[in-house]
Structure 1
Amino acid sequence: MNDSSPDIELERRRWLAQLARAPRATLECALEAVCDGMPLPAFDWLRAPQTGLAMVRGRIGGTGDPFNVGETTVTRAVLRLKSRDGVGLVGVAYQLGRDKRRAELAALADAMLQSPRWRDAVRERLLAPLARTLDEARRERTESTASTRVDFYTMVRGE
Structure 2
Amino acid sequence: MAEPELERKIWMGVLAKAPLELLEHQLEQAIAVESRPTYTFLRSPETGLTMVRGRAGGTGQPFNLGEMTITRCVIQLKAEGALKAEGELKAEGRRQKAEGALKAEGRRQKAEDTLLQTFKPPNLQTSKLPHSPTPPLPHSPTPITGFGYVAGRSHRHAELAAFCDALMQHPDWRVIVQAQVIEPLQAAAAEQRSTEAAEVESTRVNFFTMLRGESG
TM over 0.5: yes
Larger strand fraction of residues: 1
Equivalent of 2:12, from 6, 16, 21? 16
Moved more, 94-103 or 138-147: 138-147
Is 1:31–1:40's contact at 8 Å kept on the other side of the alignment? no
Secondary structure of 2:34's counterpart equals coil
CA distance in 2, matches of 1:36, 1:93: 21
TM-score (norm 2): 0.64
When Rg is computed on C-alpha atoms for both structures, the one with the higher figure is 2
Calculate percent identity across the aligned residue pairs: 45
CA distance in 2, matches of 1:25, 1:40: 18
The residue that corresponds to 1:102 in the other structure is: 157
Equivalent of 1:51, from 39, 47, 51? 47
Q: Does 1:7 align with 2:13?
A: no
Is 1:32–1:40's contact at 8 Å kept on the other side of the alignment? no
Equivalent of 1:69, from 58, 65, 70? 65
Secondary structure of 1:87's counterpart equals coil
What's the RMSD between the two structures over aligned residues? 2.3
Gaps of 5+ in 2: 82-140
CA distance in 2, matches of 1:13, 1:67: 24
Gaps of 5+ in 1: none
Larger helix fraction of residues: 2
The 5 A counterparts of 1:4-153 are 6-36=2-32, 38-85=34-81, 86-153=141-208
CA distance in 2, matches of 1:116, 1:130: 21
Letter in 1 for 2:200: T
CA distance in 1, matches of 2:58, 2:14: 23
Q: Give the count of matched residue pairs.
A: 155
* Offset of residue 155 of structure 1: 5.8
* Offset of residue 55 of structure 1: 1.2
